[in-house]
Amino acid sequence: MKAILLFFVVVFSFKTWAQETIQSPYVLVLGVAQDGGYPHMGCQKNCCTLAWKNQKLRKNVVSLALVDPKSKKWWLFEATPDIKLQLQDFRKRTNEAYPYLPEGIFITHAHIGHYTGLMEFGREVMSANRLKVYTLPKLKSFLEQNGPWSQLAKLNNINLVTLSDDQSIDIANNKITAFTVPHRDEFSETAGFKIETPTKKYLFIPDIDKWSKWNKNIIDEVKKVDIAMIDATFYSNTELGNRPIAEVPHPLVTETEKLFSMESPNVKNKIFFIHFNHTNPLLWDPTYQKQVLKNGFHFAKQGDIYY
């Protein structure tokens, strides 16, 4: 019962939420899907058929907004291929109470679903003026040394700000800490983020190869926060059909559930799965969604807020 009550305290849908009553910083989910979004390009399987037919079922690529009502500032986590939809969605959900562009963007790594939305800030589209983009060092070098991203920096459309591993920075009344996690780092390292507001602590790890490869203990890290939004790319190892799932390693939802199986309901209750591949039934199958909830966990929903 405590776990259920906590869930309703910290998570609300904008459909039932009176925006003006929240004065503390909060996190808004702007996307929950893996890099290709949902439905997925070229997919004509059952998992995507319904979403091709029904636009309301479609989901944007994983992204969060940190919103500070007192300062009237906000920050974006990830620059996805869906960024123009997400900026418009943010504007609509917050009743145009904030600037159109965020104060800054925090990016985890150089896979297409997480940084390619930066192109929209170039002179062909927004022609932004020194929009802060926060990255770890290798990603900063990648953006500076490779076009078309280098042009964004050269023309001062973006202002690249270097983050240090496990070193926090202050933004308004909040604290952001980047840390590295093991992933397929072809072009850059991969970051996760801890977001600390005056009232809540959040963990955001949309991509990691396996929890066992990390030099930190995911159970301990979840216990340190109030909300943990973590990698749930695949539910099981049979989702990709003929393609070896080893080519794209991620902790399976079933693996994470097993890892936390002996933890208390209060610990499990902190976990909100996110970054779903289009094949992951947590995106579209109520049976699997109910089972995850029954097991004591949650899954992030586009449009929900956490505070």
Per-residue pLDDT of the chain (307 residues; tens, 9 = 90+): 444 444 444 555 554 444 557 788 999 999 999 999 999 999 888 888 989 999 988 999 999 999 999 999 999 999 999 999 999 999 999 999 999 999 999 999 999 999 999 999 999 999 999 999 999 999 999 999 999 999 999 999 999 999 999 999 999 989 999 999 999 999 999 999 999 999 999 999 999 999 999 999 999 999 999 999 999 999 988 877 666 777 778 999 999 999 999 999 999 999 999 999 999 999 999 999 999 999 999 999 999 999 8
Cβ-Cβ contacts under 8 Å for 262 (sequence gap 6 or more): none
Q: How far apart are CA 65 and CA 77, in angstroms?
A: 6
Nearest to 186 by CA among 148, 139, 133, 232: 139
Q: What is the pTM of this model?
A: 0.92
The CATH number of domain 23-306 is 3.40.50.300: no
Q: How far apart are CA 119 and CA 83, in angstroms?
A: 10
CA distance 301 to 146: 34
Q: What distances in angstroms separate CA 59 from CA 25, 110, 160, 223, 239, one per listed residue?
A: 24, 21, 29, 29, 19
Buried b (16+ CB within 10 A) or exposed e, 275-303: bbbbbbbbbbeeebbebbeeebbbbbebb
What is the C-alpha to C-alpha distance for residues 80 and 61, in angstroms, rounded to an integer?
Answer: 6
Sheet holding 191-196, edge to edge: 168-171, 174-180, 191-196, 201-205, 227-231, 271-274, 298-299
